Amino acid sequence: MVRSTSASPPPSRPLGNATRGTTNPNRLRRMDRWIAATHAAALRRGPAPVAVDLGYGAAPWTAVELLVRLRTVRADVQVVGIEIDPERVAAAAPYACPGLVFAHGGFEVPLPGGRPPVLIRAANVLRQYAEDEVAAVWERLCARLAPDGLLVEGTCDEIGRRHVWVALGPEGPRTVTFAARLSALETPSDLAERLPKALIHRNVPGQPVHAFLRDFDRAWAAAAPYASLGARQRWMRSVLALSTAWPLADGPRRWRQGEVTVRWEALAPV
């Protein structure tokens, strides 16, 4: 069990750079909800699992909320919030509690005893990095995962209305999920501004992610008559139309939440 409020000091300077630190309560609720639903089986297997909130920012709200949400799936889950800024680790220390600790570190993901985490969540962390740095970070983080572990890396707006993330296993990227507060969505391509770093510069003609968002907007326009039944019904009808041409990895239960998940290979940069 994780007991200390900090991990053993790594042999060298933590890997990575400090983020802006911007955070708000409930900012990552859409990502957390998806993780709890889709990764539940892995969380329930074996001894008490360890999950990491990597780069939680200037306040520890996202780590606190991750613990609460994962404990709806597994009561003995442990969460470690990791920050590269030691002042942020010190500021978070008063929020430590049974099952939640904070550690100084970066992409090396230092954990007590070197335990492999079943989840690493890195939200709004890679936004500041160059696109050509992403693959190496993904590889390093995936190498830290347990055999059935999951890395979730993505970007959202300041209050969590629009969010796009990539899910990766130890073998590499698997899926891309688009999630939104549907009442505040004009068109699905509004989510383009929240594409993760690996995709945001690829939203140009000739790239798969551009084609996907173009087709999504067309399906959204065609589903306009369903708007009278609510934004959710319009979204679900649009996603159903998308499913005839794009390899979706989820179904109506997730679509109702304002989500759609696409196989990575369909959107991977050319």
Residue 80 within a domain:
yes
Mean pLDDT of 103-128: 94
What pLDDT score does 2 carry? 33
- What are 186's two structure tokens? 């004009």
Q: What is the pTM of this model?
A: 0.93
135 belongs to a structural domain: yes
- Pairing type for strands 172-180 and 162-169 reads antiparallel
240-252 pLDDT, tens digit each: 999 999 999 999 9
Q: 3-state DSSP call for residue 3?
A: coil
According to the model, what pLDDT value does residue 269 have?
Answer: 97
Q: Is residue 23 part of a domain?
A: no
- Mean pLDDT in residue range 6-22: 68
Is 15 inside any structural domain?
A: no
70 occurs within a structural domain: yes
For residues 212 and 208, give the distance between their C-alpha atoms in angstroms, rounded to a whole number: 6
Reduce the secondary structure of 213-269 to three states and give it as a string.
HHHHHHHHHHCHHHHHHCHHHHHHHHHHHHCCCCCECCCHHHHCCCEEEEEHHHHCC
Residue 218 domain flag: yes
Work out the end-to-end distance of the chain between its first and last CA atoms, rounded to an integer number of angstroms.
44
Residue 41: is its pLDDT beyond 80? yes
pLDDT of residue 18: 85
13 part of a folded domain: no
The pLDDT of residue 12 is: 66
pLDDT band at 209 (very low <50, low <70, confident <90, very high): very high
Residue 204 placed within a domain: yes
The whole domain housing 210 covers 28-265
The CATH number given to whatever domain includes residue 174 is 3.40.50.150
The count of structural domains within the chain is 1
Report d(CA 261, CA 179) in Å as an integer. 9
Residue 250: predicted pLDDT: 97
Over the range 4-41, which residues count as b (16 or more CB within 10 Å of their CB) and which as e?
ebbbeeeeeebebebbeeebeeebbbbbbbbbbebbee
What's the pLDDT tens digit per position in 72-100? 999 999 999 999 999 999 999 999 999 99
Predicted local distance difference test score (pLDDT) of residue 8: 40
